[in-house]
Each structure stands twice: as C-alpha cells, then as structure tokens.
C-alpha cells in the first residue's frame, strides 16, 4: 500500500483539497484511495506523537504512536485501500511561525524526521505544493491578521522580500531529513484549483470524481475584510492601503524580487533538483491534450500573466 503524505504547504489550496477528499471519501475508497485529514492525523491517529519530557518518555511516545499507526495501516489495507493520502500542512510548521521567523519552514527537516519515524518506514511519497513567494507571503500576512495578529510592518516586509531561504532550501532540508522517501513537488499555479488532478498526480489513479472539486475554502481575506476586522478589534484600519481586492504589502521592486526567486526555484526543479525531488508541472488533462476546467485556479494573482509565465 502506498502511504502518501501531503504536506501542504499552507496557502496552496490545501484546505480545499482536504474538503474534496472528505466530500468524496466513499467514491474514492471504491477506487482504492483512502484519506486521513488533519483531524484524524492530529487528534485520532497520531495522538501522542509530539515529543515532550525526557528522552525515555519521548521514545515511549514515538513507539506507542508507531504501533498505533501500523495497526491502522494494516486495517485499511485489509479493506482494499491501495493508496492512503495523509494530508496535514501543519506537519511542516505554521504560517504564523513562518511570518515570525521571516522565512519558509525553517524547522521542516527536524519536524519531518520525527514525523516519518512514527510511520515505521511506511511512507512512500511526500507531496509538497509551492507557490510564488509574493502571493504566498501576502496570503500568509492577511491570514495572520484575520487570526488576531497585527498587520505586518515595513521592516518585516523588507525582510521577507530579501530573505535568502526559498523553496529550494525547504525541499533540500526535507530531502536531507528523509532521504529514502520520494518527494513530489506540485506548483499551486498548476494544481491549485483542481484537487482531482492533484490527487491523480499523487496516486496515479484515474477516473477520479469531480464532485466538490471547484469549491474554494479558507481564502485570504480581502483588503475591505481586513479593514473591517481591524476596526472591530479596535485597531487602526489605516495601516492598510486604500482600495479593494488582495492586500499586497510589497512594493513593485519587492514583488519582482520575490517572483524572480520563485522563477529560480522552478528552474532548479525543472533541471532535476539535484536528484532530490520531482516537479510535476503539468496536469493529466494537459498531457492528454485536453484543457483543464476554466476555473478560479489563478485566484490570488494580480493578473493571469504571472501564471502563464511561471506555471
């Protein structure tokens, strides 16, 4: 049985993908595809996997969680599940941690090494979605305001625009932590609005349902929504720029620098990623000469030009 760990990242339509999987669980299981979402992964299946206390107690926790995992995997295999997708983007960190640290998933290696251990060598594939850094950070900044954090300051904006750590570094750390596991990278600009295509690329299973495949969850709040949130909290909405639509905290030069960093990441991936990961930058529909459904897959972009250039 393939055990496929979908790591997110955040702000790459992970919540919409998880909704699609839950909404189609019966149909997917008939195709031999099972699903553990964040609730199962955090609260039921993996209870106790977060290490605390002494070294001995941590080892006991890991052993207990590993036994629990193996038992669950054996049970679902007996039900005819050939591909299990485990999706939990918080495995690799959180948006707030990234914004606070001014970098992309700085602890991903340590986190993934511990997480993979409790699967007892059963993980077949890791799937990471990436997104152009200017849109990723804009979306994270808006989400953090929605969740009670102050609007990002100009110094933080400049630090993000000049950050040295990019997706290439995230992928390298991930590969170093679990060198024996295949890593698949799916750009948001290709797969963000098509969860069934994302799942097909993960598993190789065809004939997947499209029911609930175009439902969008957990979008970043717009500027008007953010101003309303700040006002209701008694904070000054004037810290945000005027206008409507997406909040871009970066200026034009900063946006171009972040987009160039993403282009460099994609170039490295297309060149083979030093053998560490495989880039999947075309859907099955495109390979077959069919156009994927025209949908809001480019949501969050300033216009359509960026997707055509980067995807």
Give the CATH number, domain containing residue 276: 3.40.50
CA dihedral of residues 165, 171, 177, 181 (deg, nearest 10): 180
Say if 18 falls within a structural domain: yes
Q: How many Å apart are CA 241 and CA 196, to the nearest integer?
A: 37
Does 198 score more than 50 pLDDT?
Answer: yes
Please say if the pLDDT value at position 206 is more than 50: yes
Local confidence band at 178 (pLDDT 50, 70, 90 cut-offs): very high
Whether this prediction's pTM lies above 0.75 is answered by: yes
> CA Rg, the chain, in Å?
20
Over residues 91-99, mean pLDDT: 96
pLDDT in tens, 19-29: 999 999 999 99
> Mean pLDDT over residues 88-100, rounded?
95
- Residues 114-135 have a mean pLDDT of 93
Residue 139 forms part of a structural domain: no
When divided into structural domains, the chain yields a total of 1
Residue 152 lies in a domain: no
Section 190-218 average pLDDT: 96
Q: Name the residue range of residue 24's domain.
A: 2-132+166-217+263-310
- Does 109 map to a domain? yes
For residue 230, tell me if it sits in a domain: no
Give me the pLDDT at residue 39, please: 75
49 has a pLDDT exceeding 80:
no
Contacts of 229-236 with C-beta under 8 Å, sequence gap 24+, read 229/145, 229/146, 230/145, 230/151, 233/148, 235/150
Domain for residue 256, yes or no?
no
Tokens, residue 122: 């059963």
Q: pLDDT category, 54, cuts 50, 70, 90?
A: low
- Residue 308's pLDDT is what? 28
Which pLDDT value is given to residue 56? 65
The C-alpha atoms of residue 39 and residue 88 are separated, in whole angstroms, by 9
Sign of the CA dihedral running 67, 69, 70, 74:
positive
């Amino acid at each position: 049985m393939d055990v496929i760990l979908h790591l997110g990242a955040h702000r790459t339509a992970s919540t919409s993908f998880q909704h699609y999987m839950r909404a189609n669980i019966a149909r997917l299981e008939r195709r031999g595809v099972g699903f553990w979402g964040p609730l199962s992964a955090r609260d039921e299946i993996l209870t106790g996997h977060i290490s605390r206390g002494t070294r001995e107690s941590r080892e006991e926790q890991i052993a207990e969680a590993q036994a629990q995992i193996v038992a669950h995997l054996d049970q679902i295999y007996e039900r005819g599940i050939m591909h299990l997708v485990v999706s939990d983007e918080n495995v690799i960190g959180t948006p707030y941690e990234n914004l606070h640290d001014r970098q992309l998933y700085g602890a991903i290696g340590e986190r993934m090494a511990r997480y993979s251990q409790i699967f007892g060598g059963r993980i077949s594939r890791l799937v990471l979605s990436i997104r152009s850094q200017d849109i990723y950070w804009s979306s994270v900044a808006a989400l953090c305001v929605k969740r009670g954090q102050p609007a990002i300051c100009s110094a933080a904006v400049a630090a993000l625009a000049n950050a040295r750590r990019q997706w290439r570094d995230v992928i390298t750390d991930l590969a170093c932590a679990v060198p024996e596991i295949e890593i698949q990278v799916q750009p948001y600009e290709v797969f963000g609005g098509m969860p069934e295509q994302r799942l097909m690329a993960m598993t190789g299973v065809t004939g997947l349902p499209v029911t609930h495949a175009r439902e969008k969850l957990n979008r970043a709040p717009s500027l008007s929504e953010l101003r309303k949130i700040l006002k209701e909290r008694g904070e000054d909405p004037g810290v945000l720029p005027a206008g409507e639509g997406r909040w871009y905290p970066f200026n034009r030069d900063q946006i171009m620098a972040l987009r160039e960093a993403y282009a460099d990441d994609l170039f490295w991936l297309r060149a083979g990623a030093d053998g560490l990961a495989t880039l999947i930058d075309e859907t099955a529909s495109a390979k077959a000469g069919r156009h994927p459904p025209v949908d809001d897959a480019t949501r969050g972009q300033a216009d359509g030009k960026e997707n055509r250039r980067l995807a």
